[in-house]
Chains A and B, each alone.
Chain A
Amino acid sequence: MQIGKARQVWQLEFAGEWPTSVAFLGDSRHLAAGNRQGDIRVWQLPEPPVPVEGGKSETAPDTPPAGQLKGHDNGITHLLATPDGRTLISASLDRTVRLWDPRADADGAKQVLAGHRDWVQALGISGDGRRLISGDDSCLTIVWDLATGAELTRWTGYDRVWVTAAALSPDGSRAFTAEYADGRGSFDRPAAQARFWNATDSSLQQDLLKVWLPDIKDQDRGDTYGYAQAWGKLFGRGLVCAAFSPDGSLLAVGQGGETGTGKVHLVDVASGQIARTVSGHQYGVCDLCFSADGKYILSCGRDTMVRICQVSDGQEVLTLGKSRGGQFKDWLHALAVSPDQQWVAAADIAGLVHVWQLES
């Protein structure tokens, strides 16, 4: 990724409910976004208009979507695409994960992955595009074979604790899940978990909280107050997004929920230690990803900004969007980077999909 200036080239209106997810489909001109109602729209973006010399327009042009994918009957939580862009994957509050051919004329998903018992709030794909991971609010995590749609393995956590983030390593062998219990004061049980798993046989590889909070013993994990206090300092109101770096050596996790300043932690996968904390979104992070070369971490959040930071030293090198002021703002709910690494898209709770072009 070349970081220089950035120019907003499109501001796509998503009529109706607000967009919650966005994904590029194999190239920088083919874009999909999903919303809170369950609609998915697909855009084929034309060549962006050349900006007028000296022009100071605050808004970028809009262009209508080329198509709509129908099938979900409740909100979309995540959209992902396979590396070749031929399959779009959606996760939903309707408890399903669906695989779509975004170029097909036929209505409906080409495959519905049923197996979840509750809202599917976490979704990740391996770097090779062969495996998928999804997690739901019944604390069930499933690893899928994308080619066949078959379940490879599954595991569950505590009752009434939710899988809030899930990611697969580039080769698909390792999984990460973050779990969180909102309203944790109601129960005598662990408030949260962050763990590495073997994505083939679902065996536990590493309990990251034992690394991050070594003073908390197993028997104290039922002490919700003390445990949540310790957790809160590290992770605010839960980790809601996670991604492995392209070489698999780092895991990025973002603090979500409405918290003071949502941070992004970079975790050394080999040791489990937090190597670095980068960036920060006032009131919480919503989504994140690595650049393809692994040099940058991009995140968006409840401060209506996309922040791009260097992985090497955590320095913020570019921001996209503007903070909208006021105590509470809209959110940039999700982001995506085009395969050629030149375009960044973000889904804005205000009803827009923003597209920026990075110029070296």
Chain B
Amino acid sequence: MSQLPEMAHHSRRTMLKGLLATAGGTAVMNWGGLFRSAAAADQVQRQGKRCILIWLNGGCSQFETFDMKVGRPTGGPFREIGTNLPGTKICELMPRIAERMDKLTVIRSMHTSQIDHPGGIYLMHTGYAPAANVRFPEIGAIVARYSGRPESDLPNFIKISSQGDAGSGFLGPRYQPFQLDQDGKLPPFSSSQLSAQAEGLRHELRDFLEAGFAARSAAEPARMHREAYEQARRLQHVRDVFQIDQQWERYREQYGDSKLGRRCLLARCLIEAGVSFVEVGQSGYDTHADNFSGHKALVPCMDQAWAGLLDDLEERGLLRDTLVVWMGEIGRTPNINNRSGRDHYVRCWSTALAGAGIKRGLVYGSTDEDGRDVRDSPVTEADFFATVYSALGINPAIENYSGVRPIPLAPFGHRVVADLLA
């Protein structure tokens, strides 16, 4: 059963407040601007919770990570190792995470609906399947909207070499992700070729012209355009946050000498600096061919980077308020194909959570002996996002409007999996 939404019923007047109308009278997105939604954001912001998403692009195999079937025809060549959670074993490719299982909640019973990459990436970034008439916002945009600090010079939603093109959806351009490249470097457009003085003069001129335009036009896009420039200008004050070379020398061993390790260190630095959502990507998991060598190449460096991140967050006292989400868009098939690969699978697969609002040392749900079906406690995408939002202190039933349509943060029919929450 889904929770009764706190604001499940909006009056017609409230709904209309949330609409913008064009000159022709067509309803357009309100960029999430409902009054109650804003009030909810104020409440959530005070909690100060943040989120890091480790995104395993292509779909990491549950059989080669958290849900092994050693000795079964579906098992593959890797072996299990014990963890610091009594009775729980995981893949030998993750020895460091094995020693930190007491910090995690692992969900072995994910059961989702989109089996291919575009749909799966959209689904596991928004909670919703792609739809022609609604642009759903990504989790990063939602966290930025409700937990982010509007006054911050830093963007509230940053992606480091990751995927997902839903962006801020109907929440509007203010919550679009700020993209960094695979080395975590700022994009070229973020730095000016002009001197500080010339740049300041240019800003004043642009501001003057835009203020004049804004006085004649109340159109939302014009305001957003000004805000985007203002954000870019403010970013110049905090560029040092993105420079982690010196820190990298100190933390290289802890995070592992890999690009993913460096991205995770940068994520920690950004979170510490006040960014509310950082997504860190690792690509290459779509192993239709050579699944085992593929995972052998990818998982160990992910293991070290993830473990290093958890340790670092905890040592700095940040893990209590930072939720670390580990997932890709799909799982992989039990059957091993004739390319020594595993294909896409969403009937049962694994994700993991740690930190803010989440129980420590829990393995939730299970699958059958060959990993073909969920045996108990299925978690749908709606349940997953509802639970994640709840852990972050965001009511998953909060509604925004896309046109006249109310859209809850987590899809209708969701169930908050209370067993996962601390």
**Interface of A with B (CB < 8 Å)?**
17, 36, 74-75, 93, 119, 137, 160, 162, 181-188, 257-258, 302, 328-331, 349-350
Q: Among the listed stretches B6-14, B38-46, B289-297, B387-395, which one makes contact with chain A, having 4 or more residues with CB under 8 Å of it?
A: B289-297
A350 to B259, CA, bound (A): 38
Residues of A contacting B258 in the complex (Cβ-Cβ under 8 angstroms)? 186-187
Indicate whether B168 reaches chain A with its CB closer than 8 angstroms: no
Q: Tally of A-B residue pairs with Cβ under 8 A?
A: 61
Indicate whether B250 reaches chain A with its CB closer than 8 angstroms: no
A184 to B300, CA, bound (A): 13
Closest residue on chain B to residue A304 by CB atoms: B338
Is the pair B339, A183 in contact by a Cβ cutoff of 8 Å?
no
A160 to B305, CA, bound (A): 15
Is the pair B77, A74 in contact by a Cβ cutoff of 8 Å?
yes
Is the pair A181, B297 in contact by a Cβ cutoff of 8 Å?
yes
7 contacts between A and B (CB under 8 A): A36-B77, A74-B77, A162-B293, A185-B283, A258-B339, A328-B338, A329-B338
Interface members, chain B 52-106 (any A CB < 8 Å) = 73, 77, 79
Q: A190 CB to closest chain B CB, in angstroms? A: 13
Is the pair B79, A182 in contact by a Cβ cutoff of 8 Å?
no
Is the pair A187, B338 in contact by a Cβ cutoff of 8 Å?
no
Residues of B contacting A36 in the complex (Cβ-Cβ under 8 angstroms)? 77
Closest residue on chain A to residue B338 by CB atoms: A330
Indicate whether B298 reaches chain A with its CB closer than 8 angstroms: yes
Closest residue on chain A to residue B299 by CB atoms: A183
The total of chain B residues at the interface (CB under 8 A) is 24
Report which of A93, A181, A188, A328 forms a contact with B257, defined as CB distance below 8 A: A188
Residues of A contacting B338 in the complex (Cβ-Cβ under 8 angstroms)? 328-331, 349-350
Interface members, chain B 266-295 (any A CB < 8 Å) = 282-284, 289-290, 293-294
Is the pair B282, A186 in contact by a Cβ cutoff of 8 Å?
yes
Most buried by B among A17, A75, A185, A302: A185
Indicate whether B142 reaches chain A with its CB closer than 8 angstroms: no
Is the pair A93, B77 in contact by a Cβ cutoff of 8 Å?
yes
Is the pair A74, B79 in contact by a Cβ cutoff of 8 Å?
yes
Report which of B73, B296, B298, B337 forms a contact with A186, defined as CB distance below 8 A: B298
Is the pair B260, A328 in contact by a Cβ cutoff of 8 Å?
no
Report which of B182, B282, B300, B339 forms a contact with A160, defined as CB distance below 8 A: B300
Residues of A contacting B79 in the complex (Cβ-Cβ under 8 angstroms)? 74
Indicate whether B348 reaches chain A with its CB closer than 8 angstroms: no
Interface members, chain B 294-310 (any A CB < 8 Å) = 294, 296-298, 300-301
Residues of A contacting B337 in the complex (Cβ-Cβ under 8 angstroms)? 328
A36 to B338, CA, bound (A): 13
Q: When each residue 339-380 of chain B gets 1 if its CB lies under 8 Å from chain A and 0 otherwise, what string results?
A: 110000000000000000000000000000000000000000
Closest residue on chain A to residue B262 by CB atoms: A188
Is the pair B296, A137 in contact by a Cβ cutoff of 8 Å?
yes
Report which of A119, A188, A258 forms a contact with B259, defined as CB distance below 8 A: A188
Q: With contacts A185-B283, A188-B259, A328-B338 known, what are 10 further pairs, Cβ within 8 A?
A: A160-B297, A182-B290, A182-B293, A183-B294, A186-B282, A187-B258, A258-B290, A258-B339, A328-B289, A331-B340
Is the pair A186, B289 in contact by a Cβ cutoff of 8 Å?
no
Name B's interface SS: loop
Residues of A contacting B300 in the complex (Cβ-Cβ under 8 angstroms)? 160
Is the pair B339, A328 in contact by a Cβ cutoff of 8 Å?
yes
Is the pair A182, B259 in contact by a Cβ cutoff of 8 Å?
no
**Interface of B with A (CB < 8 Å)?**
73, 77, 79, 182, 257-260, 282-284, 289-290, 293-294, 296-298, 300-301, 337-340
Most buried by A among B79, B300, B340: B340
Q: B175 CB to closest chain A CB, in angstroms? A: 29
A118 to B99, CA, bound (A): 20
Residues of A contacting B296 in the complex (Cβ-Cβ under 8 angstroms)? 119, 137, 182
Residues of A contacting B282 in the complex (Cβ-Cβ under 8 angstroms)? 186
Instruction: Give 5 nearest A-B pairs by CB, closest first.
Output: A183-B297, A182-B297, A258-B289, A186-B258, A330-B338
* A186-B77 CB under 8 A given contacts A258-B339, A330-B338: no
Most buried by A among B282, B296, B300: B296
Is the pair B284, A187 in contact by a Cβ cutoff of 8 Å?
no
Is the pair B290, A186 in contact by a Cβ cutoff of 8 Å?
no
Residues of A contacting B182 in the complex (Cβ-Cβ under 8 angstroms)? 185
Residues of B contacting A75 in the complex (Cβ-Cβ under 8 angstroms)? 77
Residues of B contacting A328 in the complex (Cβ-Cβ under 8 angstroms)? 289, 337-339
Q: B59 CB to closest chain A CB, in angstroms? A: 15
A185 to B282, CA, bound (A): 10
Is the pair B259, A185 in contact by a Cβ cutoff of 8 Å?
yes
Closest residue on chain B to residue A182 by CB atoms: B297
* A257-B297 CB under 8 A given contacts A93-B77, A187-B258, A329-B338: no
A302 to B339, CA, bound (A): 8
Q: B157 CB to closest chain A CB, in angstroms? A: 24
Residues of A contacting B297 in the complex (Cβ-Cβ under 8 angstroms)? 160, 181-184, 186
Is the pair A187, B298 in contact by a Cβ cutoff of 8 Å?
no
* A183-B77 CB under 8 A given contacts A328-B339, A330-B338: no
Residues of B contacting A93 in the complex (Cβ-Cβ under 8 angstroms)? 77
Residues of A contacting B289 in the complex (Cβ-Cβ under 8 angstroms)? 257-258, 328
Q: B417 CB to closest chain A CB, in angstroms? A: 32
Is the pair B77, A160 in contact by a Cβ cutoff of 8 Å?
no
Is the pair A186, B339 in contact by a Cβ cutoff of 8 Å?
no
A171 to B339, CA, bound (A): 36
Residues of A contacting B260 in the complex (Cβ-Cβ under 8 angstroms)? 186
Closest residue on chain B to residue A189 by CB atoms: B257
Is the pair A185, B284 in contact by a Cβ cutoff of 8 Å?
yes
* A182-B294 CB under 8 A given contacts A74-B79, A187-B301, A328-B339: yes
A228 to B182, CA, bound (A): 16
Residues of B contacting A184 in the complex (Cβ-Cβ under 8 angstroms)? 297
Residues of A contacting B293 in the complex (Cβ-Cβ under 8 angstroms)? 162, 182, 257
* A187-B259 CB under 8 A given contacts A328-B338, A331-B338: yes
Closest residue on chain A to residue B257 by CB atoms: A187
Is the pair B290, A183 in contact by a Cβ cutoff of 8 Å?
no
Q: B299 CB to closest chain A CB, in angstroms? A: 9
Residues of B contacting A302 in the complex (Cβ-Cβ under 8 angstroms)? 339
Q: A305 CB to closest chain B CB, in angstroms? A: 15
Most buried by A among B79, B289, B338: B338
Residues of B contacting A160 in the complex (Cβ-Cβ under 8 angstroms)? 297, 300-301
Q: B286 CB to closest chain A CB, in angstroms? A: 12
A74 to B79, CA, bound (A): 9
Is the pair B294, A186 in contact by a Cβ cutoff of 8 Å?
no
Report which of A137, A162, A257 forms a contact with B290, defined as CB distance below 8 A: A257
A64 to B79, CA, bound (A): 31
Most buried by B among A75, A137, A160: A160
Residues of A contacting B73 in the complex (Cβ-Cβ under 8 angstroms)? 17
Closest residue on chain A to residue B282 by CB atoms: A186
A185 to B302, CA, bound (A): 13
